[in-house]
Amino acid sequence: MKIILIGLLVVGTLFGADVVKVSEQFLQSQKCKSCHLPIVKEWEQSWHAKSHYANDEYFRATIDYVSRKTRKSLNGVKVECATCHNPRISVTSTDIDYEIMSVMELDKGSEVSNAIQSDAINEGINCVVCHNIDSIHEERDESVRGIHRIEWTKSGTMTGPYDDAKSPYHKVEHRDFMEKDSDQLCFVCHANDKSHKGLVFTNMQGEYKKSEKGCTDCHMGSQKMGVATTLKIDNGKAKERKIRTHKFAGGHVAGMWKDALNIELSQSGDSVVVTIANPQPHNIPSGFGARELILEISYKSGLKELKNQSISLTNHYTSKRNKPTIPHLAVASTKDASIPANGTKILKVPTEAGATSVEAKLYYRLVNDEVRSLLELKDDIWSQKSFITSQILKLK
Ligand code: HEC
Ligand code: HEC
Ligand code: HEC
Ligand code: HEC
Ligand code: HEC
């Protein structure tokens, strides 16, 4: 009886986006090293490479929390998040039958549990995610993202920026979204991230201001001359090409924050006016919900500090019962505190009696206090403050 039941349930779990199995010789970045070593090394430092339950504490804690609060199986939640975080997964959605099987602990060896443990996903967003995208369905509703928005190439066909490349190891095809329209590639996942209750807590595509520069210009660096492959394909030498770096440096890289925003101070009667300007084409913070900007203001008389004050710019999320929660479970959020793309935010703070100057320092933090404590995050990186900029104003 049990065996028949399992048979029926397994058939029931398989639906969703089209899956193309990647053969062993392309599956892991290891296989690309012999000819693309510098690129593999750069990518290994990126957070795309860490996008996996085992490698990103914040991601893991969020999955655990969602599973606990919604009583959905851990694997069910993992499959859901895999849409953007682990796109080469072989099962792209689960259903109620799987949930029953999981509660009854009958899911060992099932298709879902094998998919979760497979080597196909433990490198997160690796080479055969971006370079195996054949087409992007721009016509689909904007809420359809990640694996549900794309078609994969046949295993062994790499799409890339060049139109004249040849490789002895794999087929090569040019795509515009690997070159002049690369924002389109990034928006496959960097858009319309929403909670279980349908609250969109980030939408980089919606807020984006078309600019001279694309995502790759700032997050893969400007184009420079180098080699795409170390293989000697150009008369006994490696071929010179225009290339970019694959580090995808962003919010987790403290050095990237220096001067990402500007502040201006002025005095207006008994107030200090702080104008925070964002020259970037997307909001800041953007990306994931619960990121935070911290403005520290210090009032001084000569060198002596009279008073200081810290202002947090972040979004707070609430559950159905109006309790603080994490972005993924939210039904509502406070008014967006981010600095709009190519825009400004103005804050007014009172001056302090006796102060002759005021200094404002601006920092960024990956996770605000509320969410960090709900998830009990341990690693220092989540609470560290990355310095952005500072200004001093002499008071009249
Ligand atoms: C998040 C998406 C993404 C991932 C992951 C990724 N790439 Fe790329 N790759 C790109 C984009 C976009 C370009 C085009 C850059 C440009 O404008 O020249 C590119 C370019 C390349 C090129 C051409 C040379 C160059 O730098 O422009 C090679 C070769 C390449 N990638 C190999 C790899 C390998 C190997 C991996 C895995 C270690 C990998 N890529 C992972 C997006 C990605
Ligand atoms: C035996 C060597 C070899 C191996 C192994 C190899 N490649 Fe390549 N690859 C090449 C060569 C040669 C080119 C062409 C480079 C050029 O024309 O400058 C290339 C080009 C590329 C391009 C750019 C294509 C374009 O049109 O822009 C991508 C992307 C790429 N490889 C991805 C990968 C990935 C991912 C792997 C690992 C799964 C891999 N390669 C493994 C040799 C190799
Ligand atoms: C398949 C989905 C997907 C695609 C396509 C994709 N990303 Fe990402 N990206 C993610 C996810 C998921 C993360 C978060 C990973 C984590 O922190 O565990 C991320 C993180 C990042 C970060 C943050 C890194 C940091 O240090 O904070 C940057 C920057 C980034 N991506 C840039 C890009 C750019 C540029 C492109 C297009 C060339 C791109 N991504 C394409 C899913 C994607
Ligand atoms: C003109 C340069 C520029 C362009 C273009 C740009 N960014 Fe950014 N981005 C930045 C800067 C500066 C930051 C803040 C410092 C950092 O994280 O690198 C940032 C931050 C981010 C972050 C972290 C955000 C946060 O609040 O934690 C992500 C994710 C990101 N960018 C993705 C993208 C994607 C995807 C695109 C294309 C749609 C893009 N960026 C286009 C400059 C740019
Ligand atoms: C629509 C695509 C998409 C889906 C679906 C998605 N994410 Fe993400 N997620 C992203 C992108 C893109 C980023 C990177 C944004 C950034 O760095 O600011 C990200 C970042 C994160 C981060 C921050 C990681 C870090 O290191 O700072 C957490 C946590 C996270 N996601 C959890 C989840 C969970 C849990 C699920 C499933 C319930 C999920 N995500 C589903 C696209 C997605």
Of residues 16, 116, 106, 101, the one with CA closest to residue 60: 116
Query: What is the percent of the chain with per-residue pLDDT over 90, rounded to a whole number?
Result: 93
> What is the reported pTM?
0.96
Q: Is the CB of 298 under 6 A from ligand 2?
A: no
Q: Which ligand is nearest to the CA of 128?
A: 2
What residue owns the CA closest to ligand 5's atom 39? Answer: 81
Quick: pLDDT tens for 27-36.
999 999 999 9
For residue 5, name the pLDDT band (cuts at 50, 70, 90). very low
How many angstroms separate the alpha carbon of residue 345 from the centre of ligand 5? 26
Quick: pLDDT tens for 246-296.
999 999 999 999 999 999 999 999 999 999 999 999 999 986 889 999 999
Q: Is the CB of 228 under 6 A from ligand 2?
A: yes
Percent helix, strand and coil across the chain, each to the nearest 5? 30, 25, 45
Quick: pLDDT tens for 92-118.
999 999 999 999 999 999 999 999 999
Domain 255-394 class in CATH: mainly beta
Provide mean pLDDT across the span 135-142: 96
Residue 67 near residue 79, CB atoms below 8 Å: no
CA distance 25 to 119: 12
How many angstroms separate the alpha carbon of residue 104 from the centre of ligand 4? 44
Numbered ranges of CATH 2.60.40.10 in the chain: 255-394
Quick: pLDDT tens for 317-356.
999 999 999 999 999 999 999 999 999 999 999 999 999 9
